[in-house]
Amino acid sequence: MAKKPRTPAPPRKVQAPQRRSDPKRPRSPEDRRFLVMTALFAASGLIALVLAGLVVFVFRGNDSATAKIPDESALVGLQTGPAPWNAGLDTLPDRLAPLGLTPLSQEAFTQHIHQHLDIFVNGKHITVPVGIGIYGNQFITELHTHSASAEGLPGPAERPTGVIHVESPKSTTYTLAQFMGVWGVRFTPDCIGGYCKELTPWRVYVNGKLYPGDPRTIPLKKHDEFAIVIGTPPAKIPSSFTWPQGL
């Protein structure tokens, strides 16, 4: 006798999974302090990046006014003998472009400042000539020298004073190397004129203090006193100059 087939059981109801509905745990004071510190740290990093960018921008923006150190090999007619040196006018027009200077029809006063230069060779004071940078009646350069009469200084009218005039149609930074190039005197880290350090030690002082770096890079700033001391120094290194009214 055949077995009677079993009736299958009805399917069991399956309950859908329930999401947890636990309320959020409130942040502790320590958590809040951590979040605040993290935000402040991120903000400080962003500020640092912005400031760094500004510094780079400022310095790059000033590249056009960077002090110029001329290529000595491009300067013709340099005096390489012992002092005293003349005003170096014979080949001045050929030196202007390498020096980054221009022939001006007249003095310009957008920038108008002065410095004083003393030169000593074995304790003896050497004259800085009148008329450096003044090419007769044809042109004048941004860097030049005048006589005592033109500067309102006492003494003989045509007395050299050692005052450097910076009179330029633009505001920029000129260097001692550029002035020496206008003068037409060799001026390198090792040699000035006919004096080289391997045989004759020499130094440059700014406002009475020894300049430790490359003397060519010394900027021409208002009322600075420069002293180039070759060989045996004088009894006293000048640290200032008595400026007349108007200079």
Q: What is the pLDDT of residues 40-92, one digit of tens each?
A: 545 454 344 433 343 333 333 333 345 679 999 999 999 999 999 999 999 99
How confident is the model at residue 30, as a pLDDT?
A: 61
| CA distances for 44 relative to 39, 47, 48, 57, angstroms | 9, 5, 6, 20
- pTM equals 0.73
Are residues 115 and 219 in contact, defined by beta-carbon separation less than 8 angstroms?
no
CA–CA separation, 144 and 163 (whole Å): 9
How confident is the model at residue 50, as a pLDDT?
A: 34
Are residues 75 and 98 in contact, defined by beta-carbon separation less than 8 angstroms?
yes
In sequence order, what are the residues at sequence separation of 6 or more whose Cβ sits closer than 8 angstroms to the Cβ of residue 240? 207, 208, 225
Are residues 155 and 172 in contact, defined by beta-carbon separation less than 8 angstroms?
no
Helical pair 92-99 and 176-183, crossing angle rounded to 10 deg: 160
How confident is the model at residue 54, as a pLDDT?
A: 37
Strand partners, 111: 168
How confident is the model at residue 119, as a pLDDT?
A: 98
Are residues 58 and 65 in contact, defined by beta-carbon separation less than 8 angstroms?
no
How confident is the model at residue 48, as a pLDDT?
A: 43
How confident is the model at residue 47, as a pLDDT?
A: 41
Q: Which residues in the chain come in under a pLDDT of 50?
A: 14, 16-17, 21, 41, 43, 45-65
How confident is the model at residue 7, as a pLDDT?
A: 54
How confident is the model at residue 60, as a pLDDT?
A: 32
Q: How far is CA 28 from the centre of its chain?
A: 55
